[in-house]
Amino acid sequence: MASGEEDGTAEDKEHNNKRKTKSAVATAWLTFYNITMTAGWLVLAMTMLRFYLQKGTHRGLYKSIARTLKFFQTFALVEVGHCAIGLVRTSVIVTGVQVCSRIFMVWFVTNSIRQIQNEESVVLFLVVWTVTEITRYSYYTFNLLKLLPYFVKWARYNFFIILYPLGVVGELFTIYAALPVVRRSGMYSMRLPNKYNVSFDYYYCLIIVMLSYIPLFPQLYFHMLRQRRRMLLGEVIVEKDD
């Protein structure tokens, strides 16, 4: 009997040690990831500021940061994986929508349609994204290190109130500016007849994307407002962590 209890205790200890090891590895990876992303968006911020100070105009700004922006924004797909395997307690759907919408804006709108890269709306959403991501990744980093300053926490759950709507405005106006170009060029479109017997019009796809902001924006915005009440005001809300 004693031998069985000892075996059970040993197995429990081994199981706990494995859990601690996995937790330590996960924390180390998440810390590294968030530090890297904070640094990446800080580089983007400094590059944009330096460009504007030197040139005195936003024209050509996107081109100067395009490679760095595409890398770090695309790398954010890792976050969907974090949610899927349970490294972070955030909805896979919410994270997927946010990350994929950003990637779509970068690769399939701004990067693909050069005629709109100097639009002021592009600068608007780039500035909003940069401030948002520096704040967000800084918050995650300090939180993982258990060294979270109150200002960083306050910024994380207050800046979005203004930045989120401004970012949406910038994205929508950018897509709107792209519509005439897409209609004239027929880019990414496939019209009948063709050997695949499939029809696709990118112009109408972009319109649908714009319309999708109507149901999606309020859901994501109010989700953040609920998180703000929970994190800053201490309200108990039955919902997964952000």
Active site residues: 164, 171
How far separated are the first and last CA of the chain, in Å rounded? 47
Bridge partners for 120 per DSSP: none
Locate 218 and state its tokens. 């309020």
Residue ranges of the alpha helices (H) in the chain? 2-55, 61-75, 78-84, 92-103, 120-144, 150-156, 160-185, 202-233
In contact, 87 and 23? CB cutoff 8 Å? no
The SS3 assignment for 190 reads strand
CB neighbour list of residue 145: distance below 8 Å, 6 or more residues apart: 31
Instruction: Report the b/e string of 83-94 with b at 16+ CB within 10 A.
Output: beeebbebeeeb
Query: Whose CA is closest to 161, among 187, 135, 188?
Result: 135
Query: DSSP labels for 3-21?
Result: HHHHHHHHHHHHHHHHHHH
Bridge partners for 200 per DSSP: 190
69 vs 76: CA distance, rounded Å: 11
